Amino acid sequence: MTIPEIKQQLTLAQVLQYYNLKPDKSLRLHCPFHDDKTPSLQVYYKTHTCYCFSSNCKTHGKSLDVIDFILHKENCTKHEAILKAVEMIGYYEGKIKHRHTSVNNETAKLTISRQQFLHNMFTYFKNAIHNSKPAQEYLQSRCIDFKKTEVGYNAGQFHHGARKDEAMIKQCLQYGLLLDLGLTGRTGDTAYKPFGKWCICFALRNQQNEIVSLYFRSTLSDKEQRHFYLRDRQGLYPNYPKAETRKLILTESIIDAATLLEQDSIKSNYEVLALFGTNGLTEEHTVAVSRLKELEEIIFFLDGDEAGNKAVAKYAPMLKSAYPKVNITNIDVPQGEDVNSLLQGHSPDILAHLITTRKAFDFFLSNEPTENKKEEARLPDWQATPFIEGETLQVPIQNKDDCLQTTQAASVATATIQPNTTGLDTNNPYNLQYQGTQALYQIKGFRVEQMDSLKITLQIILNA
């Protein structure tokens, strides 16, 4: 083996480790070649050389490579130093080979199940909460009790020190908990970037209630970098709803869902399922909902802002179309608030109160007019009986201006439903349409199952 080959295969870090020499944080150590009271030997891992700055050292003024270091440490000839360097290379190759064999055997055990690996990591993160004051303070500020909710904390140290394990690191790289950005640490080893560092952590579960992914929420104040999911995100939070679910609350975020689940009165009466943001109703959510054969009601509890309102207006009709027998209701959240912020500023009773006072989602008034000539007449609430062809329908009004087609001042406006199979469109039971000679008449909000309290909107669109 030539000298260049030796220098290529043997690092200075390995030589120092062989002699049990460990530099300090400044990469200095007590020089082993003279009586050194203060660290004067500077280590340079990038060039695999070192230099002693003490004038009392016999090597002073000379940069030492790995062979030079061995020569002075062993106090031998250069030829003997070369043979010792070759011996070190063989020692480390054998150690690495043995380590790889052990790692492969261990990896075969650990990589059997992604679920088991993520379960182990989440358990580690949960235990870290007890030793992290910043994590506890953050959760307290968000009114989350880590003793009641399964939540963890990632300080980014799970692959260091005594926990450093090559099999674990390999799986962390595989599933995205560690990122290899091509960086090198001060010892010359690969430096990995931990994913979701300084974040609280929640588990996402599959239908078998196994942990299949993790969600991280930053505890820092960075508004641009708050939410992190492992690659290949899958699973739902807190889990798939129980098969016997009758009332399901959808929240905009995982923290909002965790907030509701800490309220016993809510948890005992409702199932809670977190969306992944305002655009986060995924295929897995719809599959989970489709399995709920006893479902009676879906309740939107999204943020009180424009994005939350738009999300409800987008998803409510989709769910109603998929599950026409399921009631869709919406909770009126104060402007600028969300589930968790409400709890921070009020007593927990406010959440139960808002849920109790929820309202049926108005599928028609949420739509914007598509034509400039479209006008809408809103009439007071009234009691009614089913429509019968040929029968005169009387609608009480308070003012003639409440009706588009003004007549003499009167307290009753009349309209006759004429039998016309070509003009009457009943394809949408929630929007009955009748095309007359002068206008299109639409009756919106018709709900057959609640005839004792029928509320409608009459819309008249004049023909061009």
- pLDDT at residue 230 tops 60: yes
Least confident of 104-113, 184-193, 300-309, 374-383: 374-383
**How many residues are there in the chain?**
464
Is the CB of residue 147 less than 8 Å from the CB of residue 110?
A: no
Quick: pLDDT tens for 57-79: 999 889 999 999 999 999 999 99
- Could you tell me which residue, 183 or 240, shows the higher pLDDT? 240
Q: What is the 3-state secondary structure (H, E, C) of the chain?
A: CCHHHHHHHCCHHHHHHHCCCCCCCCCEECCCCCCCCCCCEEEECCCCEEEECCCCCCCCCCCECHHHHHHHHHCCCHHHHHHHHHHHHHHHHHHHHHHHHHHHHHHHHHCCCHHHHHHHHHHHHHHHHCCCHHHHHHHHHCCCCCCCCCCEEECCCCCCHHHCCHHHHHHHHHHCCEEEEEEECCCCCEEEEECCCCEEEEEEECCCCCEEEEEEEECCCCCCCCEEECCCCCCECCCCCCCCCCEEEEECCHHHHHHHHCCHHHHCCCEEEECCCCCCCCHHHHHHHHCCCCCCEEEEECCCCHHHHHHHHHHHHHHHHHCCCCEEEECCCCCCCCHHHHHHHCCCHHHHHHHHCCEECCCCCCCCCCCCCCCCECCCCCCCCCCCCCCEEEEECCCHHHCCCCCCCCCEEEEECCCCCCCEECCCCCEEEEECCCEEEEEECCCHHHHHHCCCEEEEEECC
- pLDDT at residue 109 tops 80: no
Instruction: Sketch out the chain's domains with CATH numbers.
Output: 3-97 (3.90.580.10), 114-229 (3.90.980.10), 247-360 (3.40.1360.10), 392-462 (no CATH)
Q: What is the pLDDT of residue 188?
A: 72
Give the N- to C-terminal CA distance of the chain in Å, as an integer: 95
Q: What is the mean pLDDT of the chain?
A: 80
What is the separation of C-alpha 91 from the centre of its chain, rounded to a whole number of angstroms? 47
Quick: pLDDT tens for 270-302: 999 999 999 999 999 999 999 999 999 999 999
Least confident of 129-138, 287-296, 408-417: 408-417
Quick: pLDDT tens for 332-381: 999 999 999 999 988 889 999 999 999 999 876 555 443 443 333 333 33
